[in-house]
């Protein structure tokens, strides 16, 4: 079933809200505001494709964070399928964080 632009935007907004509930246990800030989510694509069939990274390639809980993100995005009403791609380019840097995240971490 093909979705319209309004529905696509509603789903996109829901995805962002859900990603704001995914945390790296070592940081008191969600992955979205940390700037770890590089791309969110919702296609015309409501399938979701996300590119995200982590603060370090050696993160011992990478699988947990990626799966938590996938499950939470999959729970958004209307989402059909979710694919979360872990990418390392561009490399994450602290300037990718939102002002809210920087404030929470005492960087502002």
Q: How many domains does the chain have?
A: 1
Rounded CA gap, 27 and 41, in Å?
A: 26
Question: 77 is in which domain, residue-wise?
Answer: 5-104
Work out the angle at residue 95's Cα, subtended by the Cα atoms of residues 16 and 101, and round it to the nearest 5 degrees: 50
CATH number for the domain harbouring residue 70: 3.30.300.130
pLDDT in tens, 63-90: 999 999 999 999 999 999 999 999 999 9
pLDDT in tens, 4-43: 999 999 999 999 999 999 998 888 899 999 999 999 999 9
């Amino acid at each position: 079933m093909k979705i319209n632009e309004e529905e696509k935007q509603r789903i996109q907004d829901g995805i962002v809200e859900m990603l704001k509930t995914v945390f790296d246990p070592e940081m008191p800030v969600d992955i979205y505001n940390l700037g770890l989510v590089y791309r969110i694509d919702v296609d015309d069939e409501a399938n979701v494709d996300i590119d995200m990274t982590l603060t370090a390639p050696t993160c011992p809980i990478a699988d947990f964070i990626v799966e938590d993100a996938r499950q939470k995005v999959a729970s958004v009403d209307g989402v059909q399928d979710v694919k979360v791609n872990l990418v390392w380019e561009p490399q994450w840097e602290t300037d990718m964080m939102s002002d809210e995240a920087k404030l929470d971490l005492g960087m502002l």
